[in-house]
Structure 1
Protein backbone atom coordinates (compact mmCIF):
# COMPACT_ATOMS: atom_id res chain seq x y z
CA UNK A 1 0.00 0.00 0.00
CA UNK A 2 2.88 2.33 0.81
CA UNK A 3 4.42 1.55 -2.56
CA UNK A 4 1.19 2.53 -4.30
CA UNK A 5 1.07 5.87 -2.47
CA UNK A 6 4.73 6.58 -3.22
CA UNK A 7 4.22 5.81 -6.92
CA UNK A 8 1.16 8.06 -7.09
CA UNK A 9 2.98 10.93 -5.37
CA UNK A 10 5.99 10.53 -7.66
CA UNK A 11 3.83 10.58 -10.77
CA UNK A 12 1.96 13.68 -9.53
CA UNK A 13 5.25 15.49 -8.87
CA UNK A 14 6.62 14.57 -12.29
CA UNK A 15 3.43 15.74 -13.96
CA UNK A 16 3.46 19.05 -12.03
CA UNK A 17 7.12 19.65 -12.96
CA UNK A 18 6.35 18.96 -16.62
CA UNK A 19 3.44 21.43 -16.63
CA UNK A 20 5.59 24.07 -14.90
CA UNK A 21 8.41 23.67 -17.42
CA UNK A 22 5.98 23.82 -20.35
CA UNK A 23 4.33 26.96 -18.97
CA UNK A 24 7.65 28.73 -18.32
CA UNK A 25 9.05 27.91 -21.78
CA UNK A 26 6.07 29.26 -23.74
CA UNK A 27 5.31 32.89 -24.43
CA UNK A 28 2.28 34.48 -22.74
CA UNK A 29 0.20 34.46 -25.95
CA UNK A 30 0.99 30.81 -26.67
CA UNK A 31 0.36 29.91 -23.03
CA UNK A 32 -3.05 31.60 -23.14
CA UNK A 33 -3.96 29.83 -26.38
CA UNK A 34 -2.93 26.44 -25.04
CA UNK A 35 -4.43 26.88 -21.56
CA UNK A 36 -7.77 25.38 -22.61
CA UNK A 37 -6.03 22.45 -24.27
CA UNK A 38 -3.71 22.02 -21.28
CA UNK A 39 -6.63 22.01 -18.83
CA UNK A 40 -8.48 19.30 -20.76
CA UNK A 41 -5.35 17.14 -20.94
CA UNK A 42 -4.80 17.68 -17.20
CA UNK A 43 -8.34 16.54 -16.43
CA UNK A 44 -8.09 13.49 -18.67
CA UNK A 45 -4.69 12.63 -17.16
CA UNK A 46 -6.05 12.95 -13.64
CA UNK A 47 -9.11 10.86 -14.54
CA UNK A 48 -6.91 8.16 -16.07
CA UNK A 49 -4.70 8.16 -12.98
CA UNK A 50 -7.76 7.92 -10.71
CA UNK A 51 -9.21 4.97 -12.66
CA UNK A 52 -5.84 3.20 -12.69
CA UNK A 53 -5.44 3.67 -8.94
CA UNK A 54 -8.96 2.40 -8.29
CA UNK A 55 -8.38 -0.71 -10.43
CA UNK A 56 -5.10 -1.33 -8.63
CA UNK A 57 -6.76 -1.15 -5.20
CA UNK A 58 -9.57 -3.50 -6.30
CA UNK A 59 -7.02 -5.98 -7.69
CA UNK A 60 -5.10 -5.79 -4.40
CA UNK A 61 -8.28 -6.59 -2.45
CA UNK A 62 -8.98 -9.66 -4.59
CA UNK A 63 -5.34 -10.78 -4.32
CA UNK A 64 -5.40 -10.53 -0.52
CA UNK A 65 -8.72 -12.42 -0.36
CA UNK A 66 -7.21 -15.20 -2.49
CA UNK A 67 -4.09 -15.37 -0.27
CA UNK A 68 -6.19 -15.57 2.92
CA UNK A 69 -8.32 -18.36 1.44
CA UNK A 70 -5.22 -20.34 0.42
CA UNK A 71 -3.68 -19.94 3.88
CA UNK A 72 -6.88 -21.05 5.59
CA UNK A 73 -7.04 -24.18 3.44
CA UNK A 74 -3.42 -25.10 4.14
CA UNK A 75 -3.73 -24.80 7.94
CA UNK A 76 -4.43 -28.05 9.70
CA UNK A 77 -7.76 -28.33 11.47
CA UNK A 78 -7.08 -29.33 15.05
CA UNK A 79 -9.51 -31.06 17.34
CA UNK A 80 -11.04 -29.09 20.17
CA UNK A 81 -12.19 -30.19 23.61
CA UNK A 82 -15.79 -29.47 22.59
CA UNK A 83 -18.34 -32.20 21.88
CA UNK A 84 -18.53 -31.35 18.17
CA UNK A 85 -15.34 -30.73 16.21
CA UNK A 86 -14.39 -30.38 12.55
CA UNK A 87 -11.66 -32.89 11.68
CA UNK A 88 -11.18 -32.26 7.97
CA UNK A 89 -12.59 -30.26 5.09
CA UNK A 90 -12.27 -30.78 1.34
CA UNK A 91 -13.47 -28.31 -1.31
CA UNK A 92 -15.40 -29.91 -4.17
CA UNK A 93 -16.16 -26.71 -6.01
CA UNK A 94 -16.37 -22.98 -5.36
CA UNK A 95 -19.29 -23.43 -2.92
CA UNK A 96 -19.48 -27.18 -2.21
CA UNK A 97 -17.46 -28.98 0.47
CA UNK A 98 -17.08 -32.31 2.22
CA UNK A 99 -16.71 -32.12 6.00
CA UNK A 100 -15.58 -34.80 8.43
CA UNK A 101 -17.15 -34.00 11.80
CA UNK A 102 -16.65 -35.76 15.10
CA UNK A 103 -19.58 -35.84 17.52
CA UNK A 104 -18.51 -37.56 20.72
CA UNK A 105 -16.90 -40.81 19.56
CA UNK A 106 -18.74 -40.92 16.23
CA UNK A 107 -17.44 -39.49 12.94
CA UNK A 108 -19.85 -38.28 10.26
CA UNK A 109 -19.09 -37.32 6.65
CA UNK A 110 -21.23 -34.31 5.65
CA UNK A 111 -21.94 -32.74 2.27
CA UNK A 112 -22.15 -28.96 2.48
CA UNK A 113 -23.80 -26.91 -0.27
CA UNK A 114 -25.01 -23.31 -0.13
CA UNK A 115 -28.53 -24.34 0.85
CA UNK A 116 -28.15 -27.65 2.66
CA UNK A 117 -26.03 -29.87 4.88
CA UNK A 118 -26.52 -33.57 4.13
CA UNK A 119 -25.09 -36.45 6.18
CA UNK A 120 -23.45 -38.76 3.64
CA UNK A 121 -21.96 -41.50 5.80
CA UNK A 122 -21.46 -42.44 9.45
CA UNK A 123 -18.05 -44.07 9.77
CA UNK A 124 -17.94 -47.42 11.59
CA UNK A 125 -14.26 -47.02 12.43
CA UNK A 126 -13.04 -43.53 13.35
CA UNK A 127 -10.41 -42.08 11.06
CA UNK A 128 -7.23 -41.05 12.87
CA UNK A 129 -6.29 -37.59 11.61
CA UNK A 130 -2.75 -36.52 12.36
CA UNK A 131 -1.08 -33.69 10.52
CA UNK A 132 2.69 -33.56 10.87
CA UNK A 133 4.17 -30.15 11.65
CA UNK A 134 6.29 -30.11 8.48
CA UNK A 135 3.29 -30.74 6.17
CA UNK A 136 2.53 -27.05 5.64
CA UNK A 137 3.29 -25.73 2.18
CA UNK A 138 5.44 -22.73 3.07
CA UNK A 139 7.50 -21.21 5.83
CA UNK A 140 4.88 -18.46 6.19
CA UNK A 141 2.11 -21.03 6.72
CA UNK A 142 4.24 -22.82 9.33
CA UNK A 143 4.93 -19.59 11.21
CA UNK A 144 1.25 -18.56 11.06
CA UNK A 145 0.17 -21.96 12.41
CA UNK A 146 2.68 -21.62 15.25
CA UNK A 147 1.38 -18.15 16.14
CA UNK A 148 -2.22 -19.33 16.02
CA UNK A 149 -1.41 -22.23 18.35
CA UNK A 150 0.22 -19.93 20.90
CA UNK A 151 -2.66 -17.44 20.82
CA UNK A 152 -5.28 -20.14 21.34
CA UNK A 153 -3.33 -21.49 24.32
CA UNK A 154 -3.19 -18.01 25.86
CA UNK A 155 -6.98 -17.53 25.77
CA UNK A 156 -8.83 -18.43 28.99
Structure 2
Protein backbone atom coordinates (compact mmCIF):
# COMPACT_ATOMS: atom_id res chain seq x y z
CA UNK A 1 0.00 0.00 0.00
CA UNK A 2 2.85 2.39 0.86
CA UNK A 3 4.52 1.62 -2.45
CA UNK A 4 1.32 2.47 -4.33
CA UNK A 5 1.02 5.76 -2.41
CA UNK A 6 4.65 6.64 -3.16
CA UNK A 7 4.19 5.83 -6.85
CA UNK A 8 1.01 7.94 -7.03
CA UNK A 9 2.72 10.89 -5.36
CA UNK A 10 5.76 10.58 -7.64
CA UNK A 11 3.48 10.44 -10.67
CA UNK A 12 1.56 13.49 -9.45
CA UNK A 13 4.75 15.46 -8.84
CA UNK A 14 6.07 14.52 -12.29
CA UNK A 15 2.81 15.55 -13.93
CA UNK A 16 2.83 18.83 -12.04
CA UNK A 17 6.36 19.62 -13.20
CA UNK A 18 5.49 18.73 -16.80
CA UNK A 19 2.36 20.92 -16.69
CA UNK A 20 4.22 23.86 -15.16
CA UNK A 21 6.95 23.59 -17.79
CA UNK A 22 4.35 23.36 -20.58
CA UNK A 23 2.58 26.47 -19.32
CA UNK A 24 5.75 28.54 -19.22
CA UNK A 25 8.63 27.39 -21.48
CA UNK A 26 12.21 27.87 -20.16
CA UNK A 27 12.96 30.77 -22.54
CA UNK A 28 9.83 32.63 -21.47
CA UNK A 29 10.59 31.85 -17.82
CA UNK A 30 13.98 33.53 -18.13
CA UNK A 31 12.48 36.55 -19.90
CA UNK A 32 9.68 37.02 -17.36
CA UNK A 33 11.54 35.93 -14.23
CA UNK A 34 10.82 39.26 -12.55
CA UNK A 35 7.04 39.50 -12.85
CA UNK A 36 5.62 36.75 -15.06
CA UNK A 37 2.34 37.03 -16.86
CA UNK A 38 -0.85 36.93 -14.84
CA UNK A 39 -2.49 34.55 -17.33
CA UNK A 40 0.42 32.10 -17.08
CA UNK A 41 0.41 32.19 -13.29
CA UNK A 42 -3.37 31.76 -13.18
CA UNK A 43 -3.21 28.83 -15.61
CA UNK A 44 -0.50 27.20 -13.51
CA UNK A 45 -2.56 27.71 -10.36
CA UNK A 46 -5.69 26.20 -11.91
CA UNK A 47 -3.79 23.23 -13.39
CA UNK A 48 -2.06 22.59 -10.07
CA UNK A 49 -5.39 22.71 -8.24
CA UNK A 50 -6.98 20.33 -10.73
CA UNK A 51 -4.01 18.00 -10.37
CA UNK A 52 -4.30 17.94 -6.57
CA UNK A 53 -8.07 17.36 -6.67
CA UNK A 54 -7.60 14.60 -9.24
CA UNK A 55 -4.90 12.99 -7.11
CA UNK A 56 -7.17 13.06 -4.06
CA UNK A 57 -10.00 11.43 -6.02
CA UNK A 58 -7.62 8.81 -7.43
CA UNK A 59 -6.30 7.94 -3.97
CA UNK A 60 -9.85 7.76 -2.55
CA UNK A 61 -10.88 5.40 -5.35
CA UNK A 62 -7.74 3.31 -4.83
CA UNK A 63 -8.29 3.13 -1.07
CA UNK A 64 -11.88 2.03 -1.61
CA UNK A 65 -10.77 -0.71 -4.00
CA UNK A 66 -8.09 -1.96 -1.59
CA UNK A 67 -10.49 -2.00 1.38
CA UNK A 68 -13.10 -3.98 -0.56
CA UNK A 69 -10.48 -6.50 -1.68
CA UNK A 70 -9.16 -7.11 1.85
CA UNK A 71 -10.21 -10.54 3.14
CA UNK A 72 -11.96 -10.63 6.51
CA UNK A 73 -12.94 -7.00 6.50
CA UNK A 74 -16.00 -7.66 8.69
CA UNK A 75 -15.56 -6.83 12.36
CA UNK A 76 -15.97 -9.74 14.78
CA UNK A 77 -14.65 -7.83 17.78
CA UNK A 78 -16.66 -4.83 18.91
CA UNK A 79 -15.90 -2.36 21.69
CA UNK A 80 -19.17 -1.81 23.57
CA UNK A 81 -17.89 0.72 26.05
CA UNK A 82 -14.96 1.95 28.06
CA UNK A 83 -14.37 3.77 31.33
CA UNK A 84 -11.29 5.69 32.35
CA UNK A 85 -9.84 4.70 35.72
CA UNK A 86 -6.98 7.16 35.67
CA UNK A 87 -4.81 9.08 33.27
CA UNK A 88 -3.54 5.91 31.56
CA UNK A 89 -5.75 3.07 32.82
CA UNK A 90 -9.08 1.98 31.34
CA UNK A 91 -11.76 -0.67 31.62
CA UNK A 92 -13.06 -1.84 28.25
CA UNK A 93 -16.13 -4.00 27.56
CA UNK A 94 -15.58 -6.02 24.39
CA UNK A 95 -17.95 -8.34 22.55
CA UNK A 96 -16.50 -11.28 20.63
CA UNK A 97 -19.27 -13.28 18.99
CA UNK A 98 -21.83 -13.93 21.77
CA UNK A 99 -19.31 -13.49 24.58
CA UNK A 100 -18.61 -10.26 26.43
CA UNK A 101 -15.26 -9.75 28.12
CA UNK A 102 -14.24 -7.01 30.56
CA UNK A 103 -10.65 -5.98 29.86
CA UNK A 104 -8.22 -3.94 31.91
CA UNK A 105 -6.00 -1.78 29.73
CA UNK A 106 -2.81 -0.23 31.08
CA UNK A 107 0.16 1.17 29.13
CA UNK A 108 2.07 -2.07 29.58
CA UNK A 109 -0.63 -4.72 29.25
CA UNK A 110 -4.17 -5.74 28.46
CA UNK A 111 -5.72 -8.33 30.75
CA UNK A 112 -9.07 -10.13 30.70
CA UNK A 113 -10.62 -9.32 34.08
CA UNK A 114 -13.95 -11.10 33.72
CA UNK A 115 -15.95 -13.05 31.15
CA UNK A 116 -19.62 -12.18 31.60
CA UNK A 117 -22.01 -15.13 31.89
CA UNK A 118 -24.95 -13.07 30.66
CA UNK A 119 -24.26 -10.42 28.02
CA UNK A 120 -25.02 -6.85 29.05
CA UNK A 121 -27.58 -5.19 26.80
CA UNK A 122 -26.03 -1.99 25.51
CA UNK A 123 -28.58 0.45 24.07
CA UNK A 124 -27.79 1.98 20.69
CA UNK A 125 -27.78 5.47 22.22
CA UNK A 126 -24.95 4.50 24.59
CA UNK A 127 -22.64 3.37 21.79
CA UNK A 128 -20.03 5.86 20.62
CA UNK A 129 -21.48 8.18 18.01
CA UNK A 130 -19.77 8.63 14.68
CA UNK A 131 -18.79 12.27 14.19
CA UNK A 132 -20.94 14.06 11.64
CA UNK A 133 -18.10 14.63 9.16
CA UNK A 134 -16.95 11.01 9.33
CA UNK A 135 -20.53 9.77 8.87
CA UNK A 136 -21.03 12.03 5.85
CA UNK A 137 -17.73 10.86 4.34
CA UNK A 138 -18.72 7.22 4.80
CA UNK A 139 -22.06 7.92 3.10
CA UNK A 140 -20.33 9.58 0.17
CA UNK A 141 -17.98 6.63 -0.18
CA UNK A 142 -20.99 4.28 -0.21
CA UNK A 143 -20.35 2.73 3.18
CA UNK A 144 -23.11 3.47 5.65
CA UNK A 145 -22.03 2.82 9.26
CA UNK A 146 -25.63 1.93 10.24
CA UNK A 147 -25.57 -1.17 8.03
CA UNK A 148 -22.82 -2.76 10.15
CA UNK A 149 -24.63 -2.74 13.50
**Which structure: larger Rg?**
1
TM-score, with length taken from structure 2: 0.40
TM-score, with length taken from structure 1: 0.38
Which has the larger share of helix?
A: 1
